[in-house]
């Protein structure tokens, strides 16, 4: 199996590469990543000398780079993680989201079609379904109703993937997972931001009333699900991935502070995210029944291990938080925290 993993230097891609190399000694993986602010080769230090792993710096929007890497390594499967992934950044700078998430996906699909790639897996998100009220779940039949520039760009990409299957017969799959957590999570997202801010004695900014709900899944459980889809996903099918683990944001933050033994007084309720989706919750019946996937981690164990990882890997996140990130943090939070 010659796998091209795009966006493999990010949070989920790097965890997926480690998972696959550990599980399949004969697999060969090429990580193709532009190394944006979110891409970090330190995430892959543990595999960088593995002869089955190769890194190529490149942009999924660049046709000649994409064709070259597929040809050079005789790629037969593409798993596309590469994306701009942060909702807040999409609200202030939507252009790059359309470029990378839509145009980049189309470039990969064209290359897959032209170069006889046998399988194309698109890593999408539950956010394409929009927002839920107090009850109900997202199934694969839930209509797409994205609300942020990020989720709209991911939904646009999903429709292209569907079109390449229907029109050209490309063997595609789309996975739509809920919120991931675990090691190497970039500290702009809720869980790593709250853990690292607490460790730095900084304020913990909660958007709105803190009652928005997310359905959290450990990143290794996501990796295992994608592996099953690669092995046995039926052509053209969509698979939702989630572990029935819904938490309000404020409860997650209180849990993190409790586990760290920190007081609650650093919590700050701040101006809400524009267009903030109220609730996400996945119905994972299809992947559980068809591909026999089930999550391995309980949230209790997963969050404790994750907090331990951030305690043990301070240099990793401190390096990120002292770089360009400082400007992002100021722009995103300075005014919010003033009022």
Instruction: Give the active site residues.
Output: 126-127, 150
Sign, CA torsion 189/35/226/160: positive
Cβ pair 65, 43 in contact under 8 A: no
DSSP string for 257-271: HHHHT--GGGEEEEP
Q: Minimal distance in Å, beta carbon 77 to ligand NAD?
A: 16
User: Does residue 105 belong to the site contacting ligand DAU (CB under 6 A)?
Assistant: no
Q: Which part of the chain contacts ligand DAU (CB under 6 A), choosing from 125-133, 161-169, 225-233, 256-264?
A: 125-133
Footprint of ligand DAU on residues 162-201 (CB under 6 A)?
178-179, 189-190, 193
User: Does residue 207 belong to the site contacting ligand DAU (CB under 6 A)?
Assistant: yes
User: Does residue 84 belong to the site contacting ligand DAU (CB under 6 A)?
Assistant: no
C-alpha 30/C-alpha 52 separation (Å) is 8
Footprint of ligand NAD on residues 173-212 (CB under 6 A)?
177, 179-180, 186
> How many CA atoms lie less than 13 Å away from 36 in the CB half-sphere?
17
Report CA-CA distances (Å) from 8 to 68, 197, 218. 18, 26, 17
Q: Which of 3, 4, 5, 10 binds ligand NAD (CB under 6 A)?
A: 10
Q: Which part of the chain contacts ligand DAU (CB under 6 A), choosing from 161-169, 206-214, 259-267, 323-331?
A: 206-214
Which tokens belong to 257? 């502070």
Q: Which of 196, 242, 193 lies closest to 216 in space, CA to CA?
A: 242
Q: Which of 249, 293, 299, 307 binds ligand DAU (CB under 6 A)?
A: 249
Q: Which residue is nearest to ligand DAU (CB)?
A: 125
Partner from ligand DAU, ligand NAD, none binding residue 173, C-beta < 5-8 Å depending on class:
none
User: Does residue 86 belong to the site contacting ligand DAU (CB under 6 A)?
Assistant: yes
Cβ pair 192, 229 in contact under 8 A: no
User: Does residue 41 belong to the site contacting ligand NAD (CB under 6 A)?
Assistant: no
Residues that bind ligand NAD (CB under 6 A): 6-7, 9-13, 33-36, 38-39, 59-61, 81-83, 85, 100, 104, 123, 125, 154, 177, 179-180, 186
């Amino acid at each position: 199996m010659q796998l091209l993993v795009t966006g493999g230097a990010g949070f989920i891609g790097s965890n997926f590469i480690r998972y696959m190399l550990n599980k399949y000694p004969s697999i060969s993986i090429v990580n193709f990543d532009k190394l944006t602010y979110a891409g970090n080769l330190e995430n892959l230090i543990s595999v960088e000398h593995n002869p089955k792993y190769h890194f190529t710096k490149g942009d999924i929007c660049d046709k000649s780079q994409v064709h070259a890497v597929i040809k050079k390594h005789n790629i037969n499967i593409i798993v596309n993680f590469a994306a701009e992934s942060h909702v807040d950044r999409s609200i202030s700078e939507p252009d790059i989201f359309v470029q990378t998430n839509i145009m980049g996906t189309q470039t990969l699909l064209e290359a897959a079609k032209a170069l006889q790639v046998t399988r194309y897996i698109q890593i999408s998100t539950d956010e394409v379904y929009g927002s839920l009220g107090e009850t109900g779940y997202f199934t694969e039949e839930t209509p797409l109703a994205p609300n942020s520039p990020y989720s709209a760009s991911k939904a646009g990409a999903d429709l292209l993937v569907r079109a390449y299957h229907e029109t050209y017969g490309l063997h595609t799959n789309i996975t739509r997972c809920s919120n991931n957590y675990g090691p190497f999570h970039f500290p702009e997202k809720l869980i790593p931001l709250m853990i690292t801010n607490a460790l730095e004695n900084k304020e913990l900014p909660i958007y709105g009333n803190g009652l928005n709900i997310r359905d959290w899944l450990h990143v290794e459980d996501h990796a295992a699900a994608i592996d099953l889809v690669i092995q046995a996903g039926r052509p053209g099918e969509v698979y939702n991935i989630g572990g029935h683990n819904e938490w309000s944001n404020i409860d997650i933050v209180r849990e993190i502070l409790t586990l760290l033994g920190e007081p609650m007084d650093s919590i700050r309720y701040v101006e809400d995210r524009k267009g903030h989706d109220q609730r996400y919750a996945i119905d994972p019946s299809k992947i559980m029944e068809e591909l026999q996937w089930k999550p391995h981690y309980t949230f209790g164990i997963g969050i404790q291990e994750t907090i331990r990882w951030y305690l043990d890997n301070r240099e990793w996140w401190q390096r990120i938080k002292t770089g360009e990130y400082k400007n992002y943090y100021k722009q995103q939070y300075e005014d919010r925290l003033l009022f």
